[in-house]
Amino acid sequence: MISANSYTHKAVCRILDANLDRAREGLRIIEEWCRFGLNNSQLSLVCKKLRQDLAIWHTIDLRIARDTMGDAGTGLTHPQEEVRSDIISLLQANFCRVQEALRVLEEYGKLYHPDMGNACKQMRYQVYSLESNLMGYQKLELLGRSHLYLVTSPQENILGIVEAALQGGLTLVQYRDKNTDDIIRLPLARQLCQLCHNYGALFIINDRVDLALAVDADGVHLGQQDMPITIARQLLGHNKIIGRSTTNPQEMQGAINEGADYIGVGPVYETPTKIKAATGLEYVNYAAKNCPIPWFAIGGIDMNNINDVINAGADQVAVVRSIMESEQPTLTTQYLIAQFHRFHNN
């Protein structure tokens, strides 16, 4: 161990003090969202225990080494620290803050106490698990309260249409383009992903797990002929959303058994994007009574028939043409979402 009277000892103590403060503050910010934003006592308790475990190491000799006036870093800042565009970016920034602080504590702690380095290492792994669980929970929570799901079709002004819909309150977007070359699809997917995240919305990729990984999308939507959900989960990790298209109760149960986070139910009406025959409202009614996970009625749904679909039991719908081909995507989005609020308020 370093000498108690050395300059090095004081410097190490200042480093440990600063990073203990940093880690505990970051955890408190995360804990507040778990408690008040998600009302999740389990995740809140994990944050609280981590803070308490860190507090054990925040001893008086570390605190008295603090020299705020002489700290050369108090005036340093970065433009990214001044902006938090949404709750996801806020949480991710503070998870990074905690993890970096714990790594510093792990290394410098070895100079201070024989057990401190290993203790902080174990806490860092716990924070990784917390991040995965919380971000996954956050995405699923938003998925579950998204009444409207936009599935895109190739359009010259796709970015403008999607942004207009996001301005109308849309919180869930799927990028669907089966024919465009990847050299075009990849940068467009990256732009759409960033656009959605700027508005606090989820961004899903149709079919392509590799593309979802490349742009760090929130998940992927798979058809019946696509890879098994278990394989997609291994590739994407447990904090990503995976959906599956279904056209009948057997496919629904299969998707549930595989571990799908949500399913598509349809096509409800005839539509050029679906080659299978329309299922009508009967399958919607079946899903309303039997599906334990989020599900979206899809297929030919528009402003003229959405209330029929809602009355059949749908609380979430996916649309393509009604927004992508709308002259006023913002107003169309607002109208479609408003039908759910009107139904629940009656």
Provide the pairing of β-strand 262-265 with 172-175. Answer: unpaired
- Bridge partner list, 244: 222, 263
DSSP element (H, E) containing 316: none
End-to-end Cα separation, the chain, in angstroms: 70
Three-state secondary structure call for residue 304: coil
Tokens of 265: 């139910």
Quote the crossing angle between the two packed helices 249-258 and 281-290, to the nearest 10°: 40
- DSSP H helical segments within 34-172, as ranges? 41-57, 60-63, 87-112, 116-144, 158-167
Could you confirm whether 245 is annotated as catalytic? Answer: yes
- Bridge partner list, 175: 205
Catalytic residue among 44, 124, 244, 245: 245
Cα four-point dihedral sign 124, 242, 254, 285: positive
Catalytic residue among 97, 208, 233, 274: 274
Could you confirm whether 240 is annotated as catalytic? Answer: no
Give, in degrees to the nearest 5, the angle at Cα 313 between 312 and 315.
Answer: 130
Using an 8 Å Cβ cutoff, are 300 and 278 in contact?
A: yes
Could you confirm whether 326 is annotated as catalytic? Answer: no
Catalytic residue among 176, 208, 240, 244: 176
Q: How far, in Å, CA of 24 to CA of 46, rounded?
A: 13
DSSP letter for each residue of 180-227: S-HHHHHHHHHHHHHHHHHTT-EEEEES-HHHHHHHT-SEEEE-TTS-
Which residues are catalytically annotated? 176, 245, 274
